[in-house]
Amino acid sequence: MIFAPSYSVAYRHLAILADVLYGNHGLTLQKQKTKIMKAASYEALLSTPELKESQSLFQRFEGLLNELGLSNPYEPIQLDELTDEQKEKIASLNLSQLMEDELQSQEPEMRIVRFVIRRFAQLNDDSALDTILSSVEKLYPVFPDIIRYLLSLRGLSRKERHDIGQKVIELLSSSVLSELPWHRLWAFELFAHSNSWGQEDRFVSLLANSKDSFARRKLILALGRAGQKHWFNSHWRTLFDEPPWPRRALIAAASCMPTDARNHWYRSIEDRLDPVESAVARWARANPFAV
């Protein structure tokens, strides 16, 4: 146990512990066994009813999946293809209320939260979207699941996606997400995956202020998805100044440049690429980034 005078200090100490364990011993903290809580909460931890509730919830959902004939617990569920009885069983899980209940508690049970977010993704249900994004201070341990949930949503308008993209970027400076490179990596994954979330005008400045390789990798991919040809025209000569992960991202994302320009560039660097980089270049030429 680590004691601290405030939540943010405790989180910083936890980040240091995780970094030392991984850097010195190659070990990682288990999310289900790592929590920040008030001292009084710890006394009730071993007998908390939430653990029993979560197990019952998982069993109920597994039974529903078996009934639907789905072997993959993360496979999307097509509501239009379900019977009225099956829809009623999904409704009986009352996912929105479960989420609200957990957010009202001082220490949300992350097994339940993760389960609910993943079910929202399967059901293409955006009803709790605003609640989830406004509760990141409590939900940061499942932030990767939140990003996967956002990426899974279908039917959002262009404005809705841009508004979500803006909120995600703002969370990096106004919430606990600013403490760890891990969270920045996942936030930028949204934009590396698709250019539909907007915020293109922020990528260059974010890249300039990002020192870790993995965040830089995601931002370079985001620049490619956004079709920032001028940025690549001025940076392709610095390819070999980048560490391995950003360098591979630059090779892939530079495919957003006009066909003749990118083909000329790929030919000019192919003799200097290692096997992995050569494979990335071949893939990029066959699957150029497009806007």
Q: Is residue 218 part of a domain?
A: yes
pLDDT at 7: 85
Whether residue 54 has pLDDT greater than 70 = no
Whether residue 5 has pLDDT greater than 80 = yes
Q: Are residues 178 and 245 in the same domain?
A: no
CA-CA distance, 133 to 144, in Å (whole number)?
A: 12
Beta-sheet strands, E only, within the chain = none
| pLDDT tens digits, one per residue of 144-168 | 999 999 999 988 999 999 999 999 9
Whether residue 211 has pLDDT greater than 90 = no
Where among 193, 226, 260 does a domain terminate?
A: 193
Q: Is residue 94 part of a domain?
A: yes
How large is the average pLDDT for residues 48-65? 64
CA-CA distance, 176 to 17, in Å (whole number)?
A: 17
Number of domain units in the chain: 2
pLDDT at 187: 93
Closest CA relative to residue 247, chosen from 288, 222, 213, 212: 213
Q: In terms of pLDDT, which residue wins out, 141 or 179?
A: 141
Q: Is residue 123 part of a domain?
A: yes
pTM: 0.73
- For 286, the domain range is 209-291
How large is the average pLDDT for residues 29-37? 80
Burial of 65 (0-12, 13-18, 19+ CB in 10 A): middle
CA-CA distance, 201 to 217, in Å (whole number)?
A: 17
How large is the average pLDDT for residues 185-193? 94
pLDDT at 279: 96
Q: Are residues 64 and 187 in the same domain?
A: yes
pLDDT at 76: 66
Q: Are residues 263 and 224 in the same domain?
A: yes
Q: Are residues 62 and 183 in the same domain?
A: yes
Asked if 82 and 90 count as a contact pair (C-beta separation under 8 A), the reply is yes
Q: Are residues 59 and 189 in the same domain?
A: yes
